[in-house]
Amino acid sequence: MFDNRASAHRERHARSLVWSGAFLALLLALSAPLALADLSARSVTETETATEQPASPPGLTLANVYREGIDLSRYWVSEKLDGVRAYWDGRRLITRGGHPIAAPDWFTAGFPTLALDGELWMGRGTFETLSGTVRRLEPDHDAWRAVRYRVFDLPGMEAPFGERLQTLERLLADTQNPHIAPVEQFRVADHADLMARLETIVAADGEGLMLHHEDAPYRAGRSDDLIKVKLYLDAEAQVIAHLPGKGKYAGMMGALLVEEPSGQRFRLGTGFSDAERRSPPPIGRTVTFKYHGRTRNGVPRFASFLRVRD
């Protein structure tokens, strides 16, 4: 009798193992596609996220401020366009900070496959409209039809600027795309001639002039290879805090507390529109301001907001 009970117990245990094995196999069969689908979904998500990351900021040539006494006979001169600096890497436009610019495909159709350095521009006195157009994640095609890419250098060419300029002009001479063109370059005789040109540009709502040394290689950083000429000085600072407004600016931003790369902090309270006061530049962003000299403590005198740097 004991043997019969033991035999029955072994039989039930064997059937239990068979059912458990079958259930486990079924569970694995059902879960495997889900696991693969989940892995695939995560891979797609990771890929999409990676493609949305900004590129590394391009190493751009930056300008020093003009001072009298520079040998102007060695420089090419052009208008300083009040636009958005844009670097063409051969397939897309990116900002000075490395962020992709959502330009329409037709806008960049036929652009060269080599790197270009230039300025997106709509014309004098149109910076706010241009900036709004360039910042959009989805391009406004009607607005982009008024934009031009004015190119002033070939970053990838190892030659003096004078040679790069000739190559650039030949490169773009036969383009069928009306939205891209080289920046016009000219010469001046001396300081007086330069100042006369500057006054003419500023009187027509222009921003200033740029000087580019004819023998300069293309190299990143700030030097006398590139010099800006303005009736006022300008600089950049990072937004540290929003200071509340009073009186007619109650409920809005009254001033920005900003910090320059040197560590100099000051209040920047003029030059803003009411719209900019209602929606001020975010903390952490870099802004450009103009000023007229500095105090003995290094604080910019008569500082006035110009724009948020892209």
Positions annotated as catalytic residues are 80
197 contacts 188 by C-beta, under 8 angstroms: yes
78: alpha, beta or left, given left = phi > 0 and alpha = psi -120 to 50?
Answer: beta
d(CA 276, CA 161): 39
- What gap in Å lies between CA 163 and CA 152, rounded to an integer? 12
Report which of 116, 86, 79, 111 is spatially closest to residue 100, judged by C-alpha positions: 86
Cα dist. 85→88, 93, 151, 160 in Å? 10, 10, 10, 21
The pair of structure tokens assigned to 128 is 């706010």
Instruction: Single out the residue of 48, 267, 189, 301 nearest to residue 197, CA to CA.
Output: 189
55: left (phi over 0), alpha (psi -120 to 50) or beta: beta
Strands (E) in 81-200, as ranges, are 84-88, 93-95, 116-121, 148-153, 180-182
Q: What's the CA angle centered on 208, arms 280 and 66, to 5 degrees? A: 105
- Taking alpha carbons only, the member of 31, 29, 21, 121 closest to residue 80 is 121
